[in-house]
Structure 1
Amino acid sequence: MSRDVSTDVLERLHVSRESRERLETYVSLLLQWQARINLIGPATREAVWTRHIADALQLLSLLPPDLRKLADLGSGAGIPGLILAIARPLEAHLFESNLKKGAFLREAARQTGAKAHIHTIRIEEAQALARTIKAEAVTARALAPLPKLLDYAAPFLENGAIGYFHKGQDVDAELTDATKSWKMQVESHPSMTDSHGVILVVKEAHRVLC
């Protein structure tokens, strides 16, 4: 991806010059590691700025301006959690059970100076940490259908976090299934990078008692 395209993406999303440099460091490292481990879909390598960086950064306009902590589930290459911590001065807790991907996240956080904590554990083991972290937001991209995703995010949502979830064209069916087990306020925002996608903002989520 050319520097002109990366600059255009970052200018449209109002990213500061300092953050742009750090994001360029991240992308360079991502592409180096991609040769050894599968961090992003190989077919998206040439469109990394639009398919991945912009996809993460579009959350910036939805997050509260005073957000301090977020939890990112199934973080993978750190999209969106690490990208957000590079672009804004917030503390990100990244949950990724794959040890190789965890190693990448640690190196990327080190080289970019992002305030990120990497937890190489299964998401199901995050409940105790959720009480300690006290994240105000929880994010996930391409992790699971919404009912299962809410189960994963439950330790954070039930402690008051707001969910910011990238979802695709099946979102309506997923919402119908999710409301059988969850009571929540949901906002849907069209994705800037996927004509069939949305960002779901989930607030005041509580399980429905059967």
Structure 2
Amino acid sequence: MTDQEQFADRFSVSRETIDRLSHYETLLVKWTSKINLIAKSTVPEIWSRHFVDSAQVFEAVPADAQKLCDLGSGGGFPGLVIAALAKEKAPNLNVTLVESDLRKASFLMAAAREMDLDVNILAERVEQLSPQAADVVTARALAPLVALMSMADLHLKKGGTALFLKGERYQQELDTAAEMWDFNYEKRLSMTSDESALIIITKLRRAA
């Protein structure tokens, strides 16, 4: 079974979505030769690592969410993959990608256009962006959790959900963040690494 077939089976997506992501894969390989979108050593793992990593975030998006803001999108993870899945599975979800690096933002614009995705792309720093009032914020490999909390606090609407992919030190980061923030959280073991987790944060507020 190919990586594409495994992905389609795991996430129950259509041939059209797989074709869209396959086109994205081609663009990633092409542009990575010019700018640092993904580590070149991970090019053979685009589906099994980058796409699966991002798709598991989509699966955690609340069903009633209408606006999602992906912070520090980089090469489009998880935001552009989320947008591709949402086109089929959650057409009412409005996706915004925030990326301050102008070259990466240009890539995101080109990829979204060629994938026929209606997404908003903001080439600004997360901290300087006007509050987005999003139902959901996401981030992957952007900053320590305590810093992500500040970003989420700025851009989430009240009652919103933050979805953060974190590496092997996620529990340490949660403990550090708890010194400054009050929040509820759920940990889901990552589909791509036994040492990583998807952290689902709700009821976020600054500690008294």
Same fold (TM over 0.5): yes
**What pairs up with 1:1-210 in 2 under 5 angstroms?**
4-88=2-86, 89=91, 90-126=93-129, 128-130=130-132, 134-157=133-156, 159-209=158-208
Measure how far apart 1:158 and its partner are.
Answer: 5.3
Number of corresponding residues: 203
What does the per-residue CA deviation read over 1:91-126, in whole Å, with 9 as the maximum and x for residues that have no partner? 211110000000000011101111211111111112
| Residues in 2 aligned to 1:82 and 1:104: alpha-carbon distance in whole angstroms | 11
Root mean square deviation, CA, Å: 1.4
Contact conserved, 1:158 with 1:206, CA < 8 A, in 2? no
What does the per-residue CA deviation read over 1:70-110, in whole Å, with 9 as the maximum and x for residues that have no partner? 00011001100111011113221111000000000001110
Q: Greater CA deviation, 148-157 or 77-86?
A: 148-157
| Residues in 2 aligned to 1:84 and 1:177: alpha-carbon distance in whole angstroms | 29
**Aligned-pair identity (%):** 37
Q: What's the secondary structure of 1:40's corresponding residue?
A: coil
- Structure 2 unaligned segments of length 5 or more: list them: none
Contact conserved, 1:146 with 1:175, CA < 8 A, in 2? yes
Q: What's the secondary structure of 1:161's corresponding residue?
A: strand
Contact conserved, 1:71 with 1:93, CA < 8 A, in 2? yes
Measure how far apart 1:45 and its partner are.
Answer: 0.6
Contact conserved, 2:134 with 2:157, CA < 8 A, in 1? no
Contact conserved, 1:139 with 1:163, CA < 8 A, in 2? yes
| Residues in 2 aligned to 1:19 and 1:115: alpha-carbon distance in whole angstroms | 14
